Amino acid sequence: MGRNGDFDVGRSVDRAMDLFWRRGYTGTSLQDLLDVLSIGSLGFYAAFGSKEQFSLRALERRSALQVEDLVKILEHAAEIRPAVRQVLVAMIEADRAGPSRDSGAAGEAGGDGDGAGPSVAERAVAAMCRVDSALAGALDQAKSRGDLPPGKAPVELARFLIAFVQGLRVVGRARLGRSFVEDALAVAMRAPD
């Protein structure tokens, strides 16, 4: 399949992910992908089906890695507030590092999938639900340790924080600056009090 016979699908997706995030879906040609992957077009189609399917796979891989990192932070948190802040900042920074990456690659790819699997929106919702669940679990544990006031509902608080980050993603497209984000984050971090 590959030119050297050592074609690894997972590693290939990892190598080519950055190409989509830097150039966007339409700015990345099939030839660009073939060059980065060191694979011929027949091997590419056999492994990935199409450029769109490949971009969805890359998006799913990127999302899975990010979610895995965030879940680890929450699962190993000794103190809830620093962990929540770290997770929120990580989610915000992922967008600030490349504000058009998700929309540029995933949105341009079509968004409805190929009918054989979940759409981009469904994949994003699944990833968000996983972070929400981990956040609610960490908040629940913090409440049982006495680190949250008794009247706080961990599930509701987790949903608020997820909605907050999503709002910042929308606002971030207006490029309002770091001080705007820091001010909003400071207010959100008072929610667990």
Structure-model confidence comparison of residues 108 and 140, the more confident one: 140
Average per-residue pLDDT for the chain: 79
Mean pLDDT calculated for residue range 57-70: 82
Are the beta carbons of 34 and 40 closer than 8 angstroms? yes
pLDDT digits (tens, 9 = 90+) for 84-94: 999 888 888 77
CA angle, 104 as apex, 101 and 110 as ends, to 5°?
130
Closest to 186 in 3D by CA, of 174, 169, 178: 178
Least confident of 14-18, 42-46, 160-164, 171-175: 171-175
pLDDT digits (tens, 9 = 90+) for 124-172: 788 888 889 999 999 999 999 999 998 999 999 999 999 998 888 777 6
DSSP 8-state assignment for residue 12: H
Angle between helices 51-75 and 80-97 (to 10 degrees): 160
| Burial tier of 160 (Cβ tally within 10 Å: 0-12, 13-18, 19+) | middle
Paired strand residues for 2:
39
pLDDT digits (tens, 9 = 90+) for 72-81: 898 888 889 9
